[in-house]
Amino acid sequence: MAAIIIDGKTIAQKQRTAAADRTRLLRDRGVHPCLAVVLVGEDPASISYVTAKEKALAEAGMASRDIRLSGDTGEAELLDLITGLNRDNSVHGILVQLPLPRHINENNIIRAIDPGKDVDGFHPVSVGNMVLGQPGFLPCTPRGVLVMLKELAIPTKGAHAVILGRSNIVGKPLANLMIRKDCNATVTLCHTGTRDLAYHCRQADILIAAAGSPGLVTADMVREGAAVIDVGVNRVADPAAKRGYRLCGDVDFAAVSEKAGYITPVPGGVGPMTIAMLLQNVLDSAEGTAGK
């Protein structure tokens, strides 16, 4: 029996509609939610991501402050810019698009952002709040995965979740979120040092692939009926494609979809949820400002 395809676009649109409703309420109170988006350099993928984020902000009635800097911008100049944005009460969120040019220390930039405007959820304070279960911004992609599971009523309480990948952006935060009492899952976090990866994957009720390795998860690694969430976005050369490449995930979609109970496609699965959760984080910040 073929898996149920999880339509991330539809779920994300529901979230974006809710974001537009929240925005209208805030604007009625004289607060215009605003995200400052900082892009350093001209990386094509980063430009594409920033453009998509700004489009989503506009559709929700939110403001964006588009700040584009040359690739040779110095770290000190970028830090000065962030200091100014931290002090600007009309800005509710600050997003510095990663990756940054090699001469800029990303950790220094992340730490410079006011935790109250850290809508990416990358600041050490945000990470600490997440681990301790305190209020704070959650990273957008992990938050989106949880919303997706809830929307499909995929049980997490008592479920065994296996996560492939230990990045600070997806793997580690998702593991922390899924062991919270509101999810109550048992989590196995796999990585490049894991022995017999296939064995661990086959134990999963919920298998989340976020390793950045095209086609890593094959059908023989998936338990019958498992929910498979593919976070990977990989560019694979394809001469037949218009751009010379195609996007694929970490999961062999065609084969695994014949065995899994649920599966997300790439593109159109987790990706749209990430932007939708960014909007929610900005609104959380703006509502905090309105409350004060």
Q: List, by residue number, the catalytic residues.
A: 53, 97, 120
**Largest pairwise CA distance in the chain:** 57
Secondary structure tally for the chain: helices H, strands E: 10, 11
Give pairs for 24-27: CB < 8 Å, separation 24+: 24/61, 26/283, 26/286, 26/287, 26/290, 27/61
User: Secondary structure of 2-66 in the HEC alphabet?
Assistant: CCEECCHHHHHHHHHHHHHHHHHHHHHCCCCCEEEEEEECCCHHHHHHHHHHHHHHHHCCCEEEE
Tokens of 205: 């009720």
Q: Identify the burial level of 30 via C-beta atoms within 10 angstroms of its C-beta, where 0-12 means exposed, 13-18 middle and 19 or more buried.
A: exposed
- The answer to the question of whether 162 is labelled as a binding residue is no
Closest to 14 in 3D by CA, of 279, 290, 285: 279
Q: What strands lie across the sheet with 63-69, from one edge to the other?
A: 63-69, 34-40, 93-96
Task: Judge whether 243 is annotated as a binding position.
Answer: no
22 among the known binding-site residues?
no
* H or E element in which residue 277 lies: helix 271-291
The answer to whether 38 is annotated as binding is no
Q: How many residues does the chain have?
A: 292
Annotated binding-site members: 165-167, 233
Annotated binding-site members for NADP(+): 165-167, 233
